A = this chain, B = another copy of it.
Amino acid sequence: MELKNDLILRAARGEAIERYPVWLMRQAGRILPEYRAVRAKLSGFKELVETPEFACEVTIQPVDLLGVDAAIIFSDILVVPEAMGLEYQMLEQKGPWFEKTIRSEEGLKYAETNFDIEDRLGYVLDAIRMTSKELDGRVPLIGFAGAPWTIFCYMVEGKGSKTFSESRKLLYTNPTLAHELLNRITDVTIQYLKAQVKAGAHMLQVFDSWAGILGTEQYAEFGLKYLDKIANALNEVPLTIFSKGAITSIPAVAKLNCNTVGLDWNMDPVKTREIIGESRTIQGNLDPCALYASHKEVENLTRNMLDSFTSKRHIVNLGHGVYPDIDPEKVKTFIKTVKDYELRY
Contact = CB atoms under 8 A, between A and B. Distances in A.
Q: What is the count of identical protomers in the complex?
A: 2
Interface in A286-305: 287-290, 292-294, 297, 301
Contact of A169 (B267, B289, B320): B289
Nearest to A267: B215
Interface residues of A, number: 33
Given A165-B289, A323-B163, A214 B266 contact: yes
A208 to B, nearest CB: 14
A245 B264 CA distance: 14
Interface in A266-296: 266-268, 287-290, 292-294
Contacts of A323: 163, 165
Interface string A240-261: 0000010110000000000000
A185 to B, nearest CB: 20
19 contacts: A162-B162, A163-B320, A163-B323, A165-B288, A168-B287, A168-B289, A169-B289, A171-B289, A173-B292, A173-B293, A173-B294, A214-B266, A215-B267, A215-B268, A215-B287, A216-B266, A218-B287, A247-B247, A247-B248
Which 9 interchain pairs have the tightest Cβ spacing? A172-B293, A168-B289, A169-B292, A215-B266, A172-B292, A165-B323, A169-B289, A173-B292, A247-B247
Interface of A: 160, 162-163, 165, 168-169, 171-173, 212-216, 218, 245, 247-248, 265-268, 287-290, 292-294, 297, 301, 320, 323
